[in-house]
Amino acid sequence: MQPTIKLNRQNIKDDKLRKIARKHGFGDKLLDDKTLLNSRRKLIPDNFKDDVWLFGYGSLIWNPVIEPIEKRNVKIYGYRRKYCLKSEMGRGSKDFPGLVLGLNAGGSTLGQAFKINTKLAPLELDLIWRREMITGAYIPKILKGHSAKGKINMIVFVINKSHENYLCSISEAKTALMISKAQGYLGTACEYLNKTCESLKNLGLRDSYLERLQKRIISNNFS
């Protein structure tokens, strides 16, 4: 069982995620600082003047690491939350790969939007990019979020279908089995699932797909 570290602002600033990844032989999979900065600036330039919102649909809900000035429950259309990204680092290992969530095409997704102080947006978003875009497994986009207070434009990380760890099709039984066995330097894949479900329920939101996976793991139903 490998030791875990906390996913927090300081550890991201100190580049501990990439240091651990390099130590475990994943150095060639990582995006460098210049690539990360260019990616963020392409979507949100340093002189951006409009409101900046970030959409959380997985661990960003229960551990955003940023300091938002407002939160809203939102719904996006055209993408659904799905376990479709294999994790051999943060929530898994080479021997027992885990899975983390991505947004795949189709359906809709409920989650939480975080409003970031526009003046601090470059600094806050650079932290998010060093966390979410560490291997380029996601594609950052601006999508419309629908909330009780109206529509907002949000930064959303959708799955990169060209990434080598993207899983196009995986059954719920196989998904549950992989989650049940996996642990990485950020903790277990089960913890990631349980905290996401708990956070959604606390917001008054539900995801039947995640709840079915929980039930399979609890009952050891992997067939």
Amino acid code (one letter) for 165: N
Tens digit of each residue's pLDDT (9 = 90 or more) over 18-30: 999 999 899 999 9
Q: Note whether residue 54 is domain-resident.
A: yes
**How far apart are alpha carbons 175 and 170 in whole angstroms?**
7
Beta-bridged to residue 73, according to DSSP, are 112
Q: Note whether residue 23 is domain-resident.
A: yes
User: Catalytic positions, please?
Assistant: 132
Tens digit of each residue's pLDDT (9 = 90 or more) over 68-93: 999 999 999 999 999 999 999 999 99
Q: Note whether residue 56 is domain-resident.
A: yes
- CATH number of the domain within which 86 lies: 3.10.490.10
Q: Note whether residue 124 is domain-resident.
A: yes
Q: Note whether residue 104 is domain-resident.
A: yes
Its domain, for residue 208, covers: 9-213
* Count of the separate structural domains present in the chain: 1
Cβ-based burial of 113 (10 A; exposed 0-12, middle 13-18, buried ≥19): buried
Query: Which pLDDT band, with edges at 50, 70 and 90, does 222 fall under?
Result: very high
Q: Note whether residue 96 is domain-resident.
A: yes
Q: Note whether residue 135 is domain-resident.
A: yes
Q: Note whether residue 222 is domain-resident.
A: no
pLDDT at 1 over 90: no
